[in-house]
Amino acid sequence: MTIAFWCVLVAALLPYMFALGAKWTRRYDNARPRSSIEQNQGWRLRAHWAHLNSFEAFGPFAAAVIINHLAKGPSAAADTLALAFIGLRLVYAALYVADKPTARSLVWTAGIACVVALFVNAA
């Protein structure tokens, strides 16, 4: 399995890691998880938003890696782009939790650029 494929697995698990921050509170009610999350404020709420955004980013990334593989794009470039995407998603979540919206948006753009580059790499 390629490094890029391993990165797809990591990207699939990242949202759950970010959810831990949102749920790390005494007010979290596992019987009513959605309503207790909505009552969060501050960094816990932003961790939840990072969790949701990670699900949104996963689909295009996974598709780009798979298409790159099927089109026999250069694997070294795909591996590098996939690793960069994972690193950027970690930084993105940290910036989201830290309430740094401008830097977060720049990092998000760089992550999407990695996804686009994976598609271009397949051409």
Q: Which residues contact 123 (CB under 8 A, 6 or more apart)?
A: 71, 73
What's the mean pLDDT in 65-85?
96
* Maximal CA-CA distance, the chain: 50
Q: Using 50, 70 and 90 to split pLDDT, how confident is the model at 116?
A: very high
Our CA dihedral for 77, 60, 119, 13, rounded to 10 degrees, sits at: 10
Is residue 81 predicted with pLDDT exceeding 90?
Answer: yes
What's the mean pLDDT in 115-119?
97
Q: What angle do CA 80, 86, 92 make, to 5 degrees?
A: 130
Question: Domains in the chain, ordered, with CATH?
Answer: 3-122 (1.20.120.550)
Q: What is the pTM of this model?
A: 0.91
